């Protein structure tokens, strides 16, 4: 496991509860993973304190990536469950620098039929 040092990684940050390292299969230059050392399957079942700290670290590193790599933008995301693209059952956040001139990352949104917003809002309140 990377978080406890069993598997080597290209670590760029570590504290008592979080580690961040360069993705071994990057989708862009500087693609970084921010991972809690404590195991939780996904964003949804991670304790608030741990999840909040992961995002604090992600925010600091995203700023550092932007300043250092001069990227044009950054995607910050966490996939939850297999249907959303989660391939590792351990909560982690992707920091994916984006570059206008060399962008191989695609995130496509396709519009669906408009729902009954009133009904949907009532379900979600």
Q: Write out the catalytic residue numbers.
A: 92
Look up residue 108 and give its two tokens: 């496509």
3-state secondary structure of 12: strand
Helices (H) and strands (E) in the chain — how many of each? 2, 5
Look up residue 51 and give its two tokens: 């999840």
Q: Around 93, how many Cα atoms within 13 Å sit in the side-chain half-sphere? A: 27
Quick check: 74 and 96 in contact, CB under 8 A?
A: yes
């Amino acid at each position: 496991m990377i978080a406890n040092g069993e598997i080597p990684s290209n670590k760029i940050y570590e504290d008592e509860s979080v580690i961040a390292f360069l993705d071994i299969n990057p989708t862009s230059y500087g693609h970084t993973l921010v991972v809690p050392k404590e195991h939780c399957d996904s964003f949804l079942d991670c304790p608030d304190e741990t999840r909040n700290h992961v995002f604090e670290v992600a925010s600091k590193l995203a700023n550092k990536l932007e300043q250092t790599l001069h990227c044009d933008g950054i995607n910050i995301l966490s996939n939850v469950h297999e249907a959303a693209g989660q391939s590792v059952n351990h909560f982690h956040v992707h920091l994916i620098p984006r570059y206008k001139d060399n962008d191989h990352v695609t995130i496509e949104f396709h519009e669906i039929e408009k729902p009954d917003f009133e009904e949907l809002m009532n379900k979600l309140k």
